[in-house]
Structure 1
Amino acid sequence: MSDYYNQALEIYKEEQQEAAVEDTDAWDKRIDKTGCYVENLALQLCHADTNDWRKCLGEMNAFKNCWQSNGNNERTSTKDV
Structure 2
Amino acid sequence: MSDSKYIQQAQEEYLEAQQDPDSWDERIFQTGCYVENMALQLCHADTGDWKQCLDEMALFRKCWELNGNRERVKTVDKD
Instruction: Output the TM-score relative to the length of structure 2.
Output: 0.87
CA RMSD of aligned residues (A): 1.2
Matches for 1:23-42 after TM superposition, within 5 Å: 24-42=21-39
The answer to whether the 8 A contact 2:17-2:25 is kept is no
- Indicate whether 1:46 and 2:48 are aligned: no
Percent of residue pairs identical: 59
Which ranges of structure 2 fall in alignment gaps of 5 or more residues? none
Aligned residue-pair number: 74
Larger Cα-atom Rg: 1
Q: Distance in 1 between matches of 2:13 and 2:40?
A: 13
Instruction: Output the TM-score relative to the length of structure 1.
Output: 0.85
Which ranges of structure 1 fall in alignment gaps of 5 or more residues? none
Distance 1:62 1:78, change over 3 A: closer
4+ runs deviating over 6 angstroms: none
